Amino acid sequence: MKKVFLLIGFCFALQFVAQSQLLKIASDHRTFTTSNDAPFFWLGDTGWLLFKKCTKAEAIYYLDTRKKQGFNVIQAMLLHELTVTDVKGDSALIDRDVSKPNASKGYWAMVDFVIAEAAKRKMYMALVPVWGGNVKSGHVSENQARVYASFLADRYKQYDNIIWLNGGDIKGSEGEKIWNIIGETLHQKDGRHLITFHPRGRSTSSTWFHHQPWLDFNMFQSGHKDYVQDTTEPKMGEDNYKYVANDLALQPTKPTMDGEPSYENIPHGLHDSLAARWTASDIRRYAYWNLLAGGAGFTYGENSVMQFKTTWSKDISFGPVNPWTTEINAPGANQMRYLKQLVAGMTFIGRTPAQELIQNQGIRYQYLPALLDNHCLYVYTYTGRNIELGLGRYEGKKVKCSWYNPRNGGYIAIGNITAAAHHLFNPPGVEKDGNDWVLVVTGL
């Protein structure tokens, strides 16, 4: 396993990395840190087809916009398909063979360019070596996988801002030998960068690879189906916090996070363009449920942006309406900065879920996740329903309470109270989906 950096005596708020640093696993084995021991919260965006669809100028615009919105990780595919080319028509591979990268041509130069530009902006590139469907279809042999992973390790191990996302929207059981070869080869020949596995919807990397030495942290894909559409077993529905709890209960302890929830503006279930579409409020729910369950990061996605749809695009999926240059400023994307803003006030290392403090726990959209971080308690309500807290263990303590607004990052003071066995908190506004708030209790 990669070296775990010890974090001693953290008593200050989370500071986001101010310069490009390698990412490591923190001493609590649940979060990330940089090589200079700064806690790091992964706020990702799925720019899956960035290398395939964008010119250099478009890539810079994309990175600049996401940087301003607070994102610090970009998830992108290196090989979406084995015929992939850049916008100039340069192929990534010779003869569709992953063991023969067309390294002298423009595709890989474009990859190098984007990685370097991301580094200038203190952003990380989470790279998928080869999308899962190519392996599932039998187009990648064990030897080809080993040669290709060696190429990637040699070419990119000098960059500090790399994370490897093995897999790619696939069950680990489909091509398991290939995924292990890629992971092991990157681990052995690179050894500097964190590695995880991006799984199929409604699944987590821990199912297949938790005990593999090359897997540094877990990633799950809570997916794009709503409660009614979910047919997986066990049924998680939209409850992504359950994946966090599942992964953090495993030994050895490894960080985990939602690497692909429902995308903003994509149809429920993906394939019916007439179905209801996921909105900014849905994305906030996924984000705060994941965070307050103990997730080490969160990845946002938008339907047009993840595939870089233009007004003339033909090779698109899932019925995006507007071009990516419009939807890059979708409401949910701009609201993710407030998630990061909330995290910036946390110690972050050593935080623990605190569901036992909730006295009126609900299910589905009524669920109330609670997280203790140092002397602060955070409770999220998606619907603005009342929150009943049992603070008997803190009996007599004077605590300060406020509401945090995930839609604009503002605080509304509640005031000071004396901790007791029962407290009722009534959020602002009318109870309804999307009237979401975070109750913040400090001084516990």
- pLDDT of 11 higher than 80: no
Domains and CATH numbers, the chain: 23-343 (3.20.20.80), 354-442 (2.60.40)
Cα distances from 42 to residues 143, 192, 376, in angstroms, run: 33, 18, 21
Rounded CA separation 24/42 (Å): 12
Q: Tell me the pLDDT tens digit for each residue of 173-193.
A: 999 999 999 999 999 999 999
Q: Tell me the pLDDT tens digit for each residue of 102-138.
A: 998 899 999 999 999 999 999 999 999 999 999 999 9
Mean pLDDT of 310-325: 89
Exposed (0-12), middle (13-18) or buried (19+): which is 271, by Cβ within 10 Å? exposed
231 pLDDT tier (thresholds 50, 70, 90)? confident
Rounded CA separation 119/69 (Å): 16
18 pLDDT tier (thresholds 50, 70, 90)? very low
- pLDDT of 83 higher than 60: yes
Amino acid at 308: F
19 pLDDT tier (thresholds 50, 70, 90)? very low
Contacts of 158 (CB under 8 A, 6+ apart): none
Q: Which element (helix H / strand E) includes 423?
A: strand 423-425
